[in-house]
Every structure is written in C-alpha cells, then in structure tokens.
A and B are shown apart, each in its own frame.
Chain A
Amino acid sequence: MSISLIEQLDKSRYNLIRWLTIGWTTWFGAFTVKDWIDNKLTLGLLILIGLVGWILFVVSLVNFLRLSGKVNADTRLKEALNNEMHQLYAYKSFLWGFATVITVICILLTISLFYNMPALMVCKIVLFFGISSPLIAGLIYNKG
C-alpha cells in the first residue's frame, strides 16, 4: 500500500521535531551543565556531546524549515498538515512552554533566597526548559 504524500510529510515532520528535541536537549543541556564541571576529561566529553547535539539541532532545524516552506506553499498540503487539529496541538505545546518557564522562574527565585546564582546560568536554565518543554509536548500530542 503506498503512503500518500500527506502521510509521508506528516511522518517526516514528526521525525524532524524528534531530532530537533534530541539535538536541542543534548546541545543546550551540555552547554548549560558544562559550567558546573571541573574535571577536564568530563568537560571534554560534554563538549563533544554538545557539539554532536548542535549539529543534529542545526541540520534538523534547516530541514524542518524547508519542509514547512514546502507545506505552506501548497494549499492542499497546508490544509491537511496545518489544519485545526495541528494548530490546536501547537497552541497546547506553547502553553506547556509558557507554564514551564513560569514554574522554572519561580523555582529559581526561591533558590535565590538561599544561594546566589550567576545571571547567565539562570538564563541558560530557563531557556533550556522553556524550549525543551513545548518540543516534548509537541511530540506527545502528535504521537500516533
């Protein structure tokens, strides 16, 4: 049975979001955690992992943007792949991102009462969770 173009693009888009998520969490996670590592060997390994994650993230992002462009250029594909269900899932995913950012900021504010944290570290942590959360939510909503 041949899979329609719509299904192929839907599956491709899902896979690209998955690789985006893996790339982002690996790259930015390593980028954030490395500030706490003193051991040179561990730091080197972390940087290597982060680099792999960065490559994965950039390649996936470029392909995702290409696919989105292809979908948006075709009315039939746009109607099928960006219909109200997909828009609802995107909206819900961003809601999760917003809720996560607020929660993380509240937690960090509480921690700051007892422990001084560098501003850069705070920004990295908020950004990490703020972007990971809607990506993961998007994967969960669009699964199956």
Chain B
Amino acid sequence: MEKWKLNNQIRIQRAIKNITQEELAAEIGVTRKTINTIENGKFIPSTILAIRLAKFFGMSVEELFELIEE
C-alpha cells in the first residue's frame, strides 16, 4: 500500500512575502500553532483552510501543496 506525504511551500512563500507565522495566522484567522503544524507537515489542513492559504499567497492549492508518494 502506497504512503503519501503532503509537502507545502508555505515557509518559502512566507519568506518571499517577508511575514512571520504569527502575521500569516492573523491574516488567515487561525492560531500561529495551526500555521506551524501545517508548515511542518504535522497537520493536514482542511480544504477551506488550504484554499484560504493559497488565496492569500495568490497561488492555486496545487501550487502551494504537493502530494508525493513516499
């Protein structure tokens, strides 16, 4: 059975926009912890949260998140 991992570009995009996790969290309307756990791959965001993040960075969800086979 294949194992899947969800990678994301959030840390890179934050660096490009020069914003902290806390600032991003305030913009999206979540806690900094939520952003941190998503960034580190410890938590998979809901569809709504993934879309909100992608919209904030001006990207599609598929560009911000990538599903890879381990």
Contacts and interface: CB of A to CB of B under 8 A. Distances in A.
A39 interface: no
A3 B21 CA distance: 12
Contacts of A3: 22
Interface in A1-43: 1, 3-4, 6-7, 10
Contacts of A80: 29-31, 34
Most-contacted residue by chain B among A3, A83, A85 (CB, 10 A) = A85
Interface string B45-68: 110010000000000000000000
Interface string A50-83: 0000000000000000000000000010011101
A6 B46 contact: no
Q: Say whether chain A's binding surface is mostly helix, strand, loop, or mixed.
A: helix
B36 A83 contact: no
A: contact size bracket: 10 to 19
Given A81-B31, A83-B34, A142-B33, A4 B43 contact: no
Interface of A: 1, 3-4, 6-7, 10, 76, 79-81, 83-86, 88, 142, 144
7 contacts: A6-B31, A83-B46, A84-B46, A84-B49, A85-B34, A85-B37, A144-B36
